[in-house]
Amino acid sequence: MTKIAVFGAGTWGIALARLLAANGRDVTVWSAIPAELKSLSTTHRHPNLPGMELPAAMHYTADIAEACTGRDILLFAVPSPFVRATAKKAAPHIPEGQLIVDVAKGVEDKTLMTMSEIIEDELAKAGRKARVVALSGPTHAEEVARDMPTAIVAASADEDAAKAVQKVFTTPTFRVYTNDDRRGTELGGAVKNVIALAVGIALGLGYGDNAKAALITRGNAELSRLGIAMGCKAETFAGLSGMGDLIVTCTSMHSRNLHAGMLIGRGKSVEEAKTEVGQVVEGINALPAACRLAKQYKVEMPIVQAVEAILDGKLEARSALMALMGRSLKRE
């Protein structure tokens, strides 16, 4: 039986843990918060995933050494701001050549590393190497938890590692594709959250479907330009982890980034919006890195820069979005 440890007891980690356990995998969930583990182990439910029941066979631990020992796969599902700290804590206990899957989405502001690169960086400091695969795509936890049809991408330059993840994670309702563009896959998962903030702001201002479609489409153009400049493959951004993830994050009311943007568009401060959403808003965390990458690679990203101006209080939301409409005319 395939043994998997899931780091993180948030909605995405627990939705995947349930999916894996329900399909015959031996699953252990690790969390740094003992109260989370106690609640999950006694109620077999997650407060933010109504209607989902966790298999009784799942295990729980607050001991990271135990979580790392004897596992076929380690699944990193902590929010992006905590990936480095978790990887650092786990690194001394991770065996050489371990297969690791990361599902957190973001780019670290200080280093401009993706989440997989952060994990590799912390392992290197501990003198270890691992096979790290990014698993990303249009995947709301609320739907995966209810076994609704979903498609996702396992990305790694190591084809055997990507195929191993594909085999373990695929179920009748969860279809996994592979590609070899891990950086492009992760970049799509991070920057799409910033575009979703822009869409949410537009909706909060009362704009309609035309504006939404324009921001999604032109947002994908910005993402593609940046990715190609960084050496990623253009086709990645037309696929599940690019346009697919962008569509679901910019159109679904499950989306925390869309929700936060709508609140900001209605006049809430960034902190008020974060508090009301009640969960990590990854687009706010990814924004500084996206802006720095655009500057470093000399890529024009007006939507991302407009979101930055709004969140920094440099421009009122309506003025910033209308400024996008007033830019010089050009060929698509």
Residues with catalytic roles: 192
Rounded to whole angstroms, the Cα distance separating 37 from 53 reads 15
Q: Tell me whether residue 280 is annotated as binding.
A: yes
11 is in an annotated binding site: yes
Is 13 a known ligand-binding residue?
Answer: yes
Q: Do the annotations mark residue 261 as ligand-binding?
A: no
Is 24 among the annotated ligand-binding positions?
no
The answer to whether the annotation marks 233 as part of a ligand binding site is no
Helix axes 282-296, 256-265, angle to 10 degrees: 90
| Coil, helix or strand at residue 155 | strand
Residue 176's Cβ-count burial label (10 Å; 0-12, 13-18, 19+) is buried
Q: Residue 133: enclosing H or E segment and its boundaries?
A: strand 130-136
Does the annotation place 82 within a ligand binding site? yes
Asked if residue 89 belongs to a known ligand binding site, the reply is: no
How far apart (Å, rounded) are the C-alpha atoms in residues 93 and 85? 14
- CA gap 285, 80 in Å, rounded: 8
Is 282 annotated in a binding site? The answer is yes
The answer to whether 256 is a known ligand-binding residue is yes
- The span from the CA of 249 to the CA of 89, in Å, is 31
Pairing between β-strand 150-155 and β-strand 130-136 as defined by DSSP bridges: antiparallel
Helix, strand, coil percentages in the chain from 3-state DSSP, rounded to 5: 55, 15, 35
User: Tokens 């979580």 identify what position?
Assistant: 67
Residue 15 in marked binding region? no
137 carries a ligand binding annotation: yes
- Does 245 appear as a known binding residue? yes
* Sheet of strand 174-179, all strands in order from the earlier edge strand to the far edge: 59-61, 26-30, 3-7, 73-76, 98-102, 130-136, 150-155, 174-179
DSSP H/E element including 77: none
Q: Does the annotation list 9 as a binding residue?
A: yes
The residues near 305 (Cβ < 8 Å, ≥ 6 apart) are 291, 294
The Cα 60–Cα 63 span in angstroms is 9
Instruction: State CA 154 to chain mean position distance.
Output: 13
Query: Residues annotated as binding site for sn-glycerol 3-phosphate?
Result: 105, 137, 139, 192, 245, 255-257
In the annotated binding site for NAD(+), the residues are 8-13, 82, 141, 256
Q: Write out the binding residues.
A: 8-13, 82, 105, 137, 139, 141, 192, 245, 255-257, 280, 282
Residue numbers belonging to the annotated binding site for substrate? 105, 256-257
